Chain A
Amino acid sequence: MKKKLIGVLMGTAVAAVALTGCGNKKSETEAPATEKTTEAAVATEATEKTTTAEEGVLVVGFDAEYPPYGYMDDNGDYTGFDLELAEAVCALEGWELVKTPIDWDSKDMELNSGAIDCIWNGFTRDGREDDYTFSVSYVDNSQVIVVAEDAGIDDLAGLEGKTVGVQAASAALTLLEEDQKELADTFAELQQFADYNSAFVELQAGSIDAIAMDIGVAQYQIKSRDGFQILDESLNAEQYAVGFKKGNEELAQIVNADLQVLLENGTFDELAEKYELTDMVCLAEAFDDAEAETEAVTE
């Protein structure tokens, strides 16, 4: 009798799991199905363009705590320079853009497992070339140090014996652990944190003396907070690009071609202006370089 009872309970549990499983699967298969029909119409006109993002959907992974590149706007929608750029690319391709906020620490797992198609979020290319397939670079970035205005720190040498904060899994951290290791060794401590909000409060409270971070984000942060400054001396110069799963050249090529279109029709510069990044964008130069390279090869 007890066995029977267990059987019944197990049955209901399995049924319940199966039900939810099915429920999810259904919505999963249904959504692409409807997209496919609309996409099919587009595809007949646009011929082979939809080969890479099979279902006409581009899933962009981004850190939603990374203004101005990707963040939640006043209306609670995800926006930012990078996301609008991705949207423009999707508009060109007739794809649907799915903005998926991710935990930055898990970005590799998200990308490799196929949960997202690309990382498009102020993603530093330098030093990561072996791990991802990148688009052309579109923003000239540098890693900088932010300190309190009254801290009396004016240059990198002034950081000796100080506690410096850096975001976990960030490009700044890699930089301080590798190329700028000598500098990092002069610090009293290199403190890792999860998000810039807590880092700035720590800086304000005096538990850390400086933060190493991307210049674009640093500018956004000090604009909305008082009493901080960026050191003139930067840690490095590097570039942002869209990161795809290693080997996904096909999607990278399509995005590159679209970025060129967006550059030529002015959309790219408009967006750069909107997010006050005009001084930093480098897409035109990147394409010039690429052109020069191919010319050199043909010569």
Chain B
Amino acid sequence: MSLSVMLSQLGSGMLKSMGIFFLTLIFSLPLGLLVSFGRMSKNAVLRTIVKIYISIMRGTPLMLQLLVVYFGPYFLFGMNIGGSYRFTAIIIGFSVNYAAYFAEIYRSGIESMPVGQYEAAKMLGYSKGKTFFKIILPQVIKRILPSITNEVITLVKDTSLSFALAYAEMFTIAKQIAAKETSFVPFIVAAIFYYIFNLVVALVMERIEKKLSYYQ
């Protein structure tokens, strides 16, 4: 296999990895906020349920969770899973897992806000929703951005875990080419691809951070 074919194959795998990456972020970032509300809820039942959810998501390997999401419908309900469920399962698995991590990051940000701000907002006649979205959330985002960047970079690398479901993302393809070529070159190329992608992610996040640091 020529290097150009290898690059184009890994490139197409990279696109699939990026698909997992972006879809996971789109679903897990809002879902994480929701989960963090549940985690901080005054309702003890909801809070406990969410606590258990976070505990399971963080306490078991993502690879295992992917297998459960993909094969679960068959083992639990005897459902016949079609081929196209593979990708859906990956997105569900990743989103639900990452939402748990993001939720805790959101919580750390929200709980770090001084009570005085809520009181001041109340004095000024802000409603609770308005207080949260106009005053609290913008500051929270600024504070948690470095932690979010951490998770996002981890996510780039974690997309390789979908090899467990043999989804043809970059790592799976690298493994297949390596087997065919009986060489390790595809892995080195894959490593470079991952690194470049993460470099871009880090740069973008840094730029966002700078943009948000309007008080410095």
Binding site for B on A (CB under 8 A): 1-2, 4-6, 9-10, 12-13, 16-17, 20-21, 24, 27-28, 59, 64-67, 71-76, 98, 100-103, 106, 109, 112-116, 195-197, 200-201, 221, 224-225
B201 on the interface (CB 8 Å rule)? no
Question: 28 A-B Cβ contacts within 8 A?
Answer: A1-B127, A2-B37, A2-B128, A6-B34, A10-B34, A13-B31, A20-B27, A24-B88, A28-B82, A28-B84, A65-B175, A65-B180, A66-B179, A72-B173, A74-B1, A74-B2, A76-B9, A102-B166, A106-B164, A109-B71, A109-B74, A113-B74, A114-B74, A114-B81, A114-B82, A115-B81, A115-B82, A221-B182
Which residues of chain A come closer than 8 Å to B183, judged between CB atoms?
197
A-B contact count (CB 8 A): 127
Q: CA of A200 to CA of B38 in the docked complex: distance in angstroms?
A: 51
B195 on the interface (CB 8 Å rule)? no
Whether B33 and A9, one on each chain, are in contact in the complex, defined by CB atoms closer than 8 angstroms, is yes
Whether A98 and B88, one on each chain, are in contact in the complex, defined by CB atoms closer than 8 angstroms, is no
Which residues from 79 to 107 on chain B have a C-beta closer than 8 Å to any C-beta of chain A?
79-88, 91
Question: Given known contacts A74-B5, A224-B182, what 15 new A-B pairs fall within 8 Å (CB)?
Answer: A20-B27, A20-B88, A21-B88, A24-B84, A64-B179, A71-B176, A72-B173, A72-B176, A76-B12, A102-B166, A106-B67, A106-B165, A106-B166, A113-B74, A115-B81
Quote the shortest CB–CB distance from A27 to chain B (angstroms): 7
Q: CA of A201 to CA of B178 in the docked complex: distance in angstroms?
A: 12
Q: Mark B51-94, 1 if CB is under 8 A from A, else 0.
A: 00000000000000001000101110001111111111001000
Which residues of chain B come closer than 8 Å to A20, judged between CB atoms?
23, 27, 88, 91
Which residues of chain A come closer than 8 Å to B182, judged between CB atoms?
197, 200, 221, 224-225
Which residues of chain A come closer than 8 Å to B82, judged between CB atoms?
28, 114-115
Q: Mark B158-197, 1 if CB is under 8 A from A, else 0.
A: 0000011110100011011111111110000000000000
Whether B179 and A113, one on each chain, are in contact in the complex, defined by CB atoms closer than 8 angstroms, is no
B112 on the interface (CB 8 Å rule)? no
Quote the shortest CB–CB distance from A187 to chain B (angstroms): 25
Q: How many B residues have CB within 8 A of the partner chain?
A: 51
Quote the shortest CB–CB distance from B39 to chain A (angstroms): 12
Q: CA of A77 to CA of B20 in the docked complex: distance in angstroms?
A: 22
B125 on the interface (CB 8 Å rule)? no
Known: A16-B26, A75-B5, A221-B182. Contact between A27 and B88, CB under 8 A? no
Q: CA of A10 to CA of B99 in the docked complex: distance in angstroms?
A: 13
Q: Considering the complex, give the chain A residue whose CB is closest to the CB of B42.
A: A2
Q: CA of A64 to CA of B180 in the docked complex: distance in angstroms?
A: 9
Quote the shortest CB–CB distance from B87 to chain A (angstroms): 7
Whether B180 and A73, one on each chain, are in contact in the complex, defined by CB atoms closer than 8 angstroms, is yes
Whether B176 and A65, one on each chain, are in contact in the complex, defined by CB atoms closer than 8 angstroms, is yes
Which residues from 1 to 35 on chain B have a C-beta closer than 8 Å to any C-beta of chain A?
1-2, 5, 8-9, 12, 23, 26-27, 30-31, 33-34
Q: CA of A74 to CA of B75 in the docked complex: distance in angstroms?
A: 38
Q: Considering the complex, give the chain B residue whose CB is closest to the CB of A116.
A: B83
Known: A67-B179, A72-B180, A115-B81. Contact between A13 and B30, CB under 8 A? yes
Whether B132 and A72, one on each chain, are in contact in the complex, defined by CB atoms closer than 8 angstroms, is no
Quote the shortest CB–CB distance from A131 to chain B (angstroms): 16
Q: Considering the complex, give the chain A residue whose CB is closest to the CB of B33.
A: A9
Contact of B165 among A4, A103, A114, A195 (CB under 8 A): A103
Q: Considering the complex, give the chain B residue whose CB is closest to the CB of A8.
A: B129
Quote the shortest CB–CB distance from A200 to chain B (angstroms): 7
Q: Considering the complex, give the chain B residue whose CB is closest to the CB of A196.
A: B179
Known: A64-B179, A98-B83. Contact between A103 and B163, CB under 8 A? yes
Quote the shortest CB–CB distance from A96 to chain B (angstroms): 12
Q: CA of A9 to CA of B166 in the docked complex: distance in angstroms?
A: 33
Whether B27 and A16, one on each chain, are in contact in the complex, defined by CB atoms closer than 8 angstroms, is yes
Which residues of chain B come closer than 8 Å to A114, judged between CB atoms?
74, 80-82
Which residues of chain A come closer than 8 Å to B91, judged between CB atoms?
20
Whether A197 and B84, one on each chain, are in contact in the complex, defined by CB atoms closer than 8 angstroms, is no
Which residues of chain B come closer than 8 Å to A28, judged between CB atoms?
82, 84
Whether A71 and B33, one on each chain, are in contact in the complex, defined by CB atoms closer than 8 angstroms, is no
Contact of A201 among B26, B30, B184 (CB under 8 A): B184
Top 3 A-B residue pairs of the complex, sorted by shortest distance between their CB atoms? A65-B179, A113-B74, A114-B80
Q: CA of A115 to CA of B88 in the docked complex: distance in angstroms?
A: 13
